[in-house]
Chains A and B, each alone.
Chain A
Amino acid sequence: MELQASAEMIQQSAPDQEEEVRRSPVKVILGSFIFRRALRALLTIYLVSTFIFFLVRLLPGDPVQVFINKQMTQYGYSYDDAANQARSLFAIDVDRPLLLQYTDYLSNLLRGDLGTSMVLPGTSVVSIIQSRIWWTIFSVGTSLIIAFVLGSLIGMLMAYKRGSTFDGIASTIGSILNSIPNYLLALLFIIIFGVRLNWFNYTKMRGSVSSGQPVEFSWAFFTDALYHAILPISVYVVTSIGGWMLLMKSSTISTLEEDHVTAARARGVPEWRVLGFYVGRNAILPLFTQLTIAIGFVVGGSLLVEPIFQYQGIGMRLYESINQRDYPVLQGIFLVITISVVVALFVADLLYSRLDPRIRS
Chain B
Amino acid sequence: MSSAVSAVGNTQNQRVTPPPAWKRFVSRNKLGTFGIVVFVGIMLLSFVGPFFLPEKNSTNVAKVYCTPSWDNWLGCDYRGRDIWYQIVNGGKQLIWVSAAAAFFSTFIAITFGALAALLGGWFESLVLVITEVVLTVPNIILLGVLAAFVKLDSPFLLVMILSVTGWPTLLRAVRAQVLSLKEREFVEAARMLDLGLPRILFREVLPNMASYILINFVFGMTGAIYGQVVLYFLGLVSLKGDNWGLMIQEAYRQGAAFSTDGVLYLVAPIVMIVLLMWSLTLVARALEDVFNPRLREA
A192-B169 Cα distance, complex, nearest whole Å: 34
Give chain A nearest CB distance to B275 CB in angstroms: 9
Say yes or no: B135 contacts A292, CB within 8 Å.
yes
Q: Is A147 an interface residue (CB 8 A)?
A: no
Q: Is B37 an interface residue (CB 8 A)?
A: no
- Given A175-B281, A184-B274, A191-B263, the answer on whether A304 and B230 have CB atoms closer than 8 Å is yes
A191-B267 Cα distance, complex, nearest whole Å: 9
Q: Which of A63, A168, A183, A188 contacts B230 (CB 8 A)?
A: A183
Q: Which single residue of chain A is at the shortest CB-CB distance from B260?
A: A195
Secondary structure of the B side of the interface?
helix
Say yes or no: A176 contacts B278, CB within 8 Å.
yes
Q: Chain A contacts of B236 at CB under 8 A?
A: 322
Q: Is B115 an interface residue (CB 8 A)?
A: no
0/1 interface trace, chain B 103-134, chain A, CB 8 Å (1 if under): 00000000000000000000000000100110
Q: Chain B contacts of A308 at CB under 8 A?
A: 252
Give chain B nearest CB distance to A342 CB in angstroms: 5
Interface centre among B129, B142, B149, B235 (most CB of A within 10 A): B149
Q: Is A98 an interface residue (CB 8 A)?
A: no
Q: Chain B contacts of A48 at CB under 8 A?
A: 133, 136-137
0/1 interface trace, chain B 134-164, chain A, CB 8 Å (1 if under): 0111111110111011110000000000000
Give chain A nearest CB distance to B29 CB in angstroms: 12
- Given A175-B285, A184-B248, A334-B145, the answer on whether A43 and B257 have CB atoms closer than 8 Å is no
Say yes or no: A163 contacts B4, CB within 8 Å.
yes
Q: Which of B4, B150, B233 contacts A162 (CB 8 A)?
A: B4
Q: Which of B137, B270, B277, B281 contacts A188 (CB 8 A)?
A: B270
Say yes or no: B136 contacts A44, CB within 8 Å.
yes
A296-B166 Cα distance, complex, nearest whole Å: 13
Q: Is A47 an interface residue (CB 8 A)?
A: yes
Say yes or no: A297 contacts B257, CB within 8 Å.
no
- Report A244-301 residues with CB < 8 Å from chain B CB: 253, 257, 289, 292-293, 295-297, 299-301
Q: Which of B132, B146, B233, B278 contacts A304 (CB 8 A)?
A: B233
**B interface bracket (residues with beta carbon within 8 Å of A):** 35 or more
Q: Is B5 an interface residue (CB 8 A)?
A: yes
Q: Which single residue of chain B is at the shortest CB-CB distance from A338?
A: B137
Q: Is A171 an interface residue (CB 8 A)?
A: yes
A331-B146 Cα distance, complex, nearest whole Å: 10
Q: Is A180 an interface residue (CB 8 A)?
A: yes
A271-B226 Cα distance, complex, nearest whole Å: 42
Say yes or no: B140 contacts A300, CB within 8 Å.
yes
Q: Chain A contacts of B129 at CB under 8 A?
A: 40, 43-44, 47
Q: Which single residue of chain A is at the shortest CB-CB distance from B280?
A: A179
Q: Which of B138, B229, B234, B298 contacts A322 (CB 8 A)?
A: B234
Q: Chain A contacts of B233 at CB under 8 A?
A: 183, 304
Q: Is A233 an interface residue (CB 8 A)?
A: no
Give chain B nearest CB distance to A188 CB in angstroms: 6
Q: Is A94 an interface residue (CB 8 A)?
A: no
0/1 interface trace, chain A 306-334, chain B, CB 8 Å (1 if under): 00100000000011001101010011001
Q: Give me 26 A-to-B residue pairs in the complex whose CB atoms sit less than 8 angstroms apart, sorted by A's number.
A: A40-B132, A44-B129, A44-B133, A52-B145, A56-B149, A59-B149, A63-B149, A162-B1, A179-B274, A179-B278, A181-B274, A187-B257, A188-B267, A188-B270, A195-B260, A289-B172, A293-B169, A296-B138, A304-B140, A318-B141, A319-B234, A322-B148, A322-B234, A334-B141, A337-B141, A341-B137
* Apart from the given pairs A179-B222, A179-B277, 15 other A-B contacts in the complex at a CB distance below 8 Å: A40-B129, A162-B4, A163-B1, A175-B285, A181-B226, A191-B263, A253-B298, A289-B176, A293-B169, A297-B139, A300-B139, A303-B144, A303-B230, A304-B234, A334-B142
